[in-house]
Amino acid sequence: MADVFTSEKRSEIMRQVKSNRNKSTEMRLIAFYKANGIKGWRRNYHLIGKPDFVFPKLKIAIFADGCFWHGHDCRNTRPEQNKEYWVKKRERNVMRDQEVTDTLTRKGWSVLRIWECEIKKGGFETRLLQILHP
């Protein structure tokens, strides 16, 4: 299926996608932390891979991964235009995510990656609480 936007409009839309303060992911996690009295988390913590949330005392790094950007196949979001570029982009992101997870794990950190769709629909809560309160 062809893109419904012109290439200029699509570029404008993609430029507006930010990597932080995303209302559908990070802001919902913050609301969950507050509603459940979860404390000790930090944002913008200097750590490889730039986790969205870090619990420094517990050595836990949490990534709120966008499904499109990080290769989750929960929905049909594979662009047909410039397909080769997007396939390579997603593959690089998935490889980088795995390298970051491996590096942090070797350094003694626990890593939790939560998909955007899990945050929107629910289902992440149990895994998150298990890693915070083993």
Is 5 part of any domain?
no
What's the pTM? 0.79
pLDDT in tens, 91-108: 999 999 999 999 999 999
Is 1 part of any domain?
no
**What's the rounded mean pLDDT across residues 26-44?**
93
The CATH number of whichever domain residue 39 belongs to comes to 3.40.960.10
The Cα–Cα gap between 110 and 102 comes to 10
Is 8 part of any domain?
no
Whole-angstrom distance between the N-terminal and C-terminal Cα of the chain? 46
Is 75 part of any domain?
yes
Q: Which two tokens stand for residue 40?
A: 């000790």
For residue 82, the model assigns a pLDDT of 78
Is 61 part of any domain?
yes
CA angle, residues 6, 67, 127, in degrees to nearest 5: 165
Number of domains in the chain: 1
Is 118 part of any domain?
yes
Question: Are residues 29 and 119 in contact, defined by beta-carbon separation less than 8 angstroms?
Answer: yes
For residue 18, the model assigns a pLDDT of 52
To the nearest 5 percent, what fractions of the chain are helix, strand and coil?
Answer: 45, 10, 45
Residues spanned by the domain of 55: 19-132
- Which residue would you say has higher pLDDT here, 87 or 21? 87
Nearest to 118 by CA among 71, 67, 49: 67
Q: Does residue 14 have a pLDDT over 70?
A: no
Distances (CA, A) of 100 to 74, 83, 93: 22, 26, 10
Is 67 part of any domain?
yes
Instruction: Work out the pLDDT band at 68, boundaries 50, 70, 90.
Output: confident
For residue 43, the model assigns a pLDDT of 93
Is 2 part of any domain?
no
